Structure 1
Amino acid sequence: MKSSWSSLRKLAAAMAVSAVVMLGFANGAHAAYGNVTKTSVVDPSILKIEEMKYLGEKADYDFVLQDETGADFKLGSMTGKPLVLAFSYYTCDGACSVINKNLAETLKGVERWKIGQDYNVLTVSFDQNDTPATLANFMKEAGFADGLPDGWKMTTMLKKEDILKLTGSMGFKFFWSPRDAMFLHPNVYIMLSPKGRVTRYLYGGTITPTDMELAITKAKGGEIAAANVIDFVVGACYSYNYKDGKYSINIPLFVAAGALIFGLTLIVGSFSYMKFRRVKHES
């Protein structure tokens, strides 16, 4: 009896923590994960993606997806180019439509790379109740009634049991809040390399076209040809700031470059001076 009472107490405590987590979030935490009220006592790390654990991991591309027409296709059909992946759900009338609208606006400012030509975009629902019908309605309500740009697909998953496999493989967490009748989740774009490896997480409320352009450049990685060496140089000049969730100038690189230039200048200057003295002495 005592053992049963102890088990019940533990179960009640776990349920209480779960309730607090579900009711305390509004799509995540910190600037990168959404907004949490100042009075909230919920630890925002609950929804935080453990980036260092998943960066470099290869996604499973065997999953079967369905677009708004109900047509099936494999995730693997979008390999070969960098892929911007966004998880959403289609009965959402708030953050999910915003994150997709913002992505569309952000991509308009990406001048170096062209969607469909240099990279692809994929929105996948993590709600097992979503269907091609709810997807079609979401597209209409979110401002995509005329369709998506070439290279961008919005989809549901054919096998509902695959949802947790795909989201879990990238560290994406989500919870259902019965009180608010909504999912709580991070608003994040996941960048995948042409070979399907996770290369970057960019958070919806903070990124700029420059951030996205740099993320695509970095994702292209070793595929940057000699003719596009300038892209490699530009990519190297920026590093990702995990604290701010943005790209920033790679200060150590510039310091090292400055030191190298100074050293070379000193060597060349010394050589030129010695040569000048030698010529003057011989004359």
Structure 2
Amino acid sequence: MYTPSPSSLSLRAGLAALLLALGAGLPAHALPGGGKTPQSIIDAQSNAPPQVRGVDVEEHLGELVALEARFTDAFGKPVRLRDVLPRTKPVLLTLVYYNCPLLCNLVINEQIRNMRELGLELGKDYEAVTVSIDPKDTPAQSLERRRRHLQSMGQPETAPWHFLTGTEEHIRQVADTVGFKYAYDADTKQYVHPAVVHVLTPEGSISRYLYGTSFRVQDMKMALVEAAGGRVGTSFDRIVLTCFKYDTATRRYGFYVFGFLRLGALMIFSALATMLAYYWRRELKKGAAA
């Protein structure tokens, strides 16, 4: 009969502990037999009312928004979403509806607060598009909302903030491409929807999501600079972006130590190069005087 030696037992125990530690650090879907819990089970265990279930944001980072979706702008002109995107600047895209009793107003007001404090200029550095998710909303309502919001920002009526209304089909096309999941509650005659501002690249792909009714100006600014590939904002903004990294857990930009170290190394290199150039020039002048 084989009897394991003490050293063999110690080795096996060590390997077992290592595997256990590694397994504890893995997400459920990475473990044998693991997987995503079916939505039906989650819903069954949830206390949320039926009309709220499934209302969420499914991030589609890097995917194109529905550029061919057709709408009517605030002036009654038929447009495609492609027509109102600037192609050279990032875009803040919001999905709301005009008769929303609370949440939509909170999201738009927070967006306006951030836009006032960004240090970036609407029209020069970025543009904004707001799509109504209610097919009953009209261009006249779009025009009234547009004027009110631009006035609150001290912006002229020519500022590029586009308010669009459309049919259920085309609204859904945009909502599906950005992962904006909403539902209509027939009892209250209201839409149940998430609170989020989408940041698009100049090409119309989804770059970042800003969640909630309160988010930091710094996060919106960095998201726009990031979406534009550094083509908007100041040189300092682009330098700061290298020291901050988007944290998917907190959904905010946080301090990035390796970016800071790279920036520090670059500053040290620049200082050394400047010092060496200074001494080299001084030595050349001494040689010429001799």
Q: Return the TM-score normalized by structure 2.
A: 0.66
Partners of 2:143 and 2:50 lie apart in 1 by 29
State the 1:245 CA deviation: 2.3
Aligned to 2:105, which of 97, 121, 124?
97
Over 3 Å counting, the alpha-carbon distance change for 1:222 and 1:103 in structure 2 is closer
Aligned to 1:211, which of 219, 223, 247?
219
Over 3 Å counting, the alpha-carbon distance change for 1:142 and 1:115 in structure 2 is closer
1:45-194 to structure 2, matched below 5 A, reads: 46-51=54-59, 54-77=60-83, 78-80=85-87, 81-111=89-119, 113-136=120-143, 138=145, 150-157=159-166, 159-194=167-202
Deviates more, 1:136-145 or 1:74-83: 136-145
Are 1:197 and 2:205 an aligned pair? yes
The 3-state SS of whatever aligns with 1:221 is coil
Q: How many residues align?
A: 226
Over 3 Å counting, the alpha-carbon distance change for 1:102 and 1:186 in structure 2 is same
Counterpart amino acid of residue 100 in structure 2: C
Match of 1:241 in 2: 247
Larger Rg: 2
C-alpha contact 2:210 2:251 (8 A) present in aligned 1: yes
Counterpart amino acid of residue 131 in structure 2: V
| Per-residue deviation, residues 123-178 of structure 1 (Å, max 9, x unmatched) | 00111222223434555787869975601111112x43111111001100001223
C-alpha contact 1:117 1:151 (8 A) present in aligned 2: no
Partners of 1:20 and 1:62 lie apart in 2 by 38
State the 1:207 CA deviation: 1.4
Runs of 5+ consecutive residues of structure 2 not aligned to the other structure: 1-39, 270-290
| Per-residue deviation, residues 204-256 of structure 1 (Å, max 9, x unmatched) | 4231221111111001116469xx65443222221112222222221342356
Over 3 Å counting, the alpha-carbon distance change for 1:222 and 1:107 in structure 2 is closer
State the 1:22 CA deviation: 4.7
Cα RMSD (Å) of the superposition?
3.5
Counterpart amino acid of residue 178 in structure 1: A
